[in-house]
Amino acid sequence: MSPVIIFFAFRSKVPGWLVATISILLVYAFILLAVHPIDVRLNAELMQLSPNGDGWFSGNGLSVELTPRQEAAMLAVVSDTGRVLAPFTAGIFACLYVFLLYCILLLARLVTAICTRIRMRFGQRKL
């Protein structure tokens, strides 16, 4: 809802392209900030299960057998494409989200203008 708030708060003071840019950046930042706690949690689990606390499960030239819990934690970190691709998908989603909201706001403005004209036209006539 941040684009809507920005739109109504600054519509007469700031150009539309700047409001759209700020809105896109805010939505982008919100998405990336939502991904960050997941990244921190997954890495903390990985560090907790690592034998020497570095997040890696490797020995000194020896084959290391992973426990099921270690393997699950490692797979959660390695195979989480949503977290890895979040900067790209957030950019696309932010642009589409702001574009759709502005289309809805412009449509609402158009409907309001049409309703005002109709009211003025029929308000001048006394039935």
| Short-list 38, 56, 60, 36, CA closest to 46 | 56
Q: Specify the amino acid at residue 35.
A: V
pLDDT of res. 75: 81
34-59 pLDDT, tens per residue? 999 988 888 888 888 777 666 666 65
pLDDT of res. 102: 84
The continuous run of DSSP H or E covering 59 comes out as none
71-94 pLDDT, tens per residue? 787 788 777 778 888 899 999 999
pLDDT of res. 89: 92
Res. 7: pLDDT tops 70: no
Query: CA neighbours within 13 Å on the CB side: how many for 72?
Result: 4
Q: Which 8-state DSSP code applies to residue 56?
A: -
